[in-house]
Amino acid sequence: MAIKIWRLPSIEELRSIANYENSQTLLDTDYFYNYEGGALIWSGTPSSNGEGTAWCMDSSNGQAKLCHKQSNSASIRLARGGKQ
C-alpha cells in the first residue's frame, strides 16, 4: 500500500496562504522563494462541471478561477498531510 505524502492543496488551502494586505507580493517570499507573481497555481479541487477543468488561483490577486486542464499552463505548490 502506497503512502501519499504530497498532494495538490484544495483551492481553499491555496487561498489561505495569500497575504491580501501586502500590495507588493501576494505570497510570502521567505517561504515561497521561487514565487512568480501573476502565475496561475493549480489546486486539487475539481470543478463540478466536468473532468476538463479544475480550480486554480491567480497569484497576482488571489482570485479562484476555473482553468482548463489541457490549455492552461500553471504552477503547482504541494501540500503535505492534512486534508485529502
List Cα–Cα distances, 68 to 4, 22, 44, 81, in angstroms.
25, 29, 13, 26
For 66, the domain range is 6-80
DSSP conformation class of 23:
S
Q: Is residue 26 part of a domain?
A: yes
Mean pLDDT of each 10-residue bin along the chain, 84 residues long: 79 88 76 76 89 88 89 84 63
Q: Residue 10's pLDDT is what?
A: 94
State residue 44 phi and psi, 5-degree precision: -95, 10
Specify the pLDDT at position 65. Answer: 92
Does residue 1 belong to any structural domain of this protein? no
In a domain, 37, yes or no: yes
Total count of domains within the chain = 1
- Say how far apart CA 27 and CA 22 lie, in whole Å: 9
Q: Is residue 15 one of the residues assigned to a domain?
A: yes
pLDDT value of residue 45: 93
Contact 32, 25 (CB under 8 A): no
pTM: 0.78
What SS3 class is residue 58? strand
